[in-house]
Amino acid sequence: VEAELMRAQRLESLSLLAAGLSHDLRNILQPLLIMPDLMKARTEDPQLHHLADIIAECGRRGHEMAESMLSFVRGSRKPSEHICLVHLFEGVELLLRSNLPAKVTLHLEVADGLAVDANYTELQQVLLNLSLNAIQAMPNGGRLTLRAAPAADTHGDDWLRISVTDEGIGMDADTLSHLFNPFFTTKATGTGLGLISCKRIIEGAHGSIHVDSQPGVGTRFDLLLPMREITDTADAVDGPIAAGAGQ
């Protein structure tokens, strides 16, 4: 599971890098789109006109390449599926139990009849990321609880809440304020890309991610997602095992 997550996080960091590069490149090339025309307006010299046209053409090509790199990165989001929460939890449980530290106990609570629209593999990755963080926050053991239920108590009938709760070391205000910054980590071998990748995936599914934490007590991450009706097409994807193996 950890190797799979490392691979997903490396991919995520590559697309962050590509998005940043193409954004900067577009800005750097901007003068090349405008200035050749300004230069041509100041001279009749045909040779200088020719050189200005070459510069403009290079600028245009570079700009177009930056544009298509950006849309490639943006367009690489995986397609949304109708996911049954019971099946999602079965798949996550399967992967988590395979290397759960002895002192950590795993509890899953999921109500029947809940569904969301998201990419199965991505949503699974979010729950695994949050769960592995939770396990790493409990070096002396404790309870890891994954719960899915309607969020009617706080958000009305249209929202579903998935929470991942641990009894770990918790976070201070400073850590909390940097939590979703790319590359922010307090771990010797951390990437600092887990949570930003979770946030991107959840926001891509029109949801939001929230955290509540107390040093020495524990942490709870809440994912709020639009509630969907269970239909026959829920889990058009081949169930948790096939989806887990096919990444």
Chain residues in the site for ligand ADP (CB under 6 A): 133-134, 137, 166, 168-171, 175, 179, 184-187, 190-195, 219
**Residue whose CB is less far from ligand ADP, 86 or 146:** 146
**Residue whose CB is less far from ligand ADP, 181 or 231:** 181
Q: Cβ 222 to ligand ADP, closest distance in Å?
A: 12
Question: Token pair of 118, please?
Answer: 């998201």
Q: Cβ 131 to ligand ADP, closest distance in Å?
A: 9
Cβ contacts of residue 93 below 8 Å, gap of 6+?
A: 106, 108
Specify which residues 115 forms β-bridges with: 84, 228
**Residue whose CB is less far from ligand ADP, 68 or 186:** 186
* Pairing mode of beta strands 142-150, 159-166: antiparallel
* C-beta of residue 25 within 8 angstroms of C-beta of residue 62: yes
Q: Cβ 169 to ligand ADP, closest distance in Å?
A: 6
User: Cα(142)–Cα(72) distance, rounded to whole angstroms?
Assistant: 42
Q: Encode 120-163 in three state secondary structure.
A: HHHHHHHHHHHHHHHHHCCCCCEEEEEEEEECHHHHCCCEEEEE
* C-beta of residue 145 within 8 angstroms of C-beta of residue 104: no
**Residue whose CB is less far from ligand ADP, 81 or 222:** 222
Burial class for 100, CB neighbours closer than 10 Å (0-12, 13-18, 19+): middle
Question: Token pair of 200, please?
Answer: 């991107």
**Residue whose CB is less far from ligand ADP, 202 or 234:** 202
**Residue whose CB is less far from ligand ADP, 39 or 108:** 108
Q: Cβ 185 to ligand ADP, closest distance in Å?
A: 3
Of all residues in this chain, which one has the CB nearest to ligand ADP in the complex?
194
Q: Cβ 170 to ligand ADP, closest distance in Å?
A: 6
Q: Cβ 215 to ligand ADP, closest distance in Å?
A: 9
